[in-house]
């Protein structure tokens, strides 16, 4: 059996797996970064867009189950947190499989009420103004009409997926969760991150880093160090997964 642990990394709304392209250098070689693209985005641009967290999670859970890798973990930022969370439930219920760790970032716990109005069905002008406020889309990209014509359907689909998401009641994971966030994130506060502990019977750790909602851009190395630490702790606590992971950092 391979001693390698696969770390699936799921991007935020409008993002692609490319945001994690430089992450491997922050991790020991026995942890392999697997960047995820949702249908209709990134390397899967020619596929039909999915605008539902449930449908995206359905699709990816089946892909993961078919790989049958013994050691794996999931990390998601913002929208990616919801996708990763739902993938974990599907893997457990349909395939009896569980990751060593679910790491979520920049998103309130699934049951926490939404504090901001929905934006996915607003006018282009209002929607683009919101993108400017978020700071995720560079101003030079917003200024290019042809590029925005390409990006707006993707962004609206992702916003719709997040804003219409509702978790199924009565479910509980049994795996470790690590919930991360930016100290100056205007969208998610520390209490909303702490609420992730209600989603599992396993341990839950919370960590805050300098920065705003997109803190992972400027503090990738610091985040990766914490994530690697939490993943190794989770592996060590699971004897059948811990083999070959006791050493290294």
Active-site positions read 78, 213
Distance from the Cα of residue 77 to its chain's centroid: 4
Residues in the chain: 249
Task: Report the C-alpha gap between 146 and 95 in whole angstroms.
Answer: 43
Contact between residue 33 and residue 20 where contact means Cβ atoms under 8 Å apart: yes
Task: Report the C-alpha gap between 156 and 164 in whole angstroms.
Answer: 12
């Amino acid at each position: 059996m391979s001693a390698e642990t696969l770390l699936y990394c799921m991007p935020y709304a409008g993002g692609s797996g490319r945001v994690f392209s430089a992450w491997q250098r922050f991790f020991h070689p026995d942890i392999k970064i697997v960047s995820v693209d949702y249908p209709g985005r990134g390397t899967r641009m020619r596929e039909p867009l999915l605008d539902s967290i449930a449908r995206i999670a359905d699709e990816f859970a089946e892909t993961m189950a078919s790989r049958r890798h013994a050691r794996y973990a999931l990390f998601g930022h913002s929208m990616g947190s919801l996708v990763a969370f739902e993938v974990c439930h599907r893997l457990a219920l349909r395939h009896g499989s569980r990751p060593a760790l679910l790491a979520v970032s920049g998103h309130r716990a699934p049951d926490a009420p939404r504090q901001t109005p929905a934006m996915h069905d607003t006018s282009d002008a209002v929607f683009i103004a919101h993108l400017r406020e978020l700071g995720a889309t560079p101003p030079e990209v917003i200024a290019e009409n042809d590029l925005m014509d390409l990006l707006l359907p993707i962004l609206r689909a992702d916003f719709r997926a997040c804003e219409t998401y509702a978790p199924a009641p009565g479910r509980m994971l049994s795996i470790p969760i690590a919930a991360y966030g930016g100290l100056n994130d205007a969208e998610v506060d520390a209490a909303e991150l702490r609420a992730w502990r209600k989603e599992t019977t396993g341990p839950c750790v919370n960590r805050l880093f300098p920065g705003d909602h997109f803190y992972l851009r400027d503090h990738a190395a610091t985040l990766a160090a914490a994530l690697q630490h939490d993943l190794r702790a989770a592996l060590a606590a699971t004897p059948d997964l811990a083999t070959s992971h006791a050493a290294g950092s």
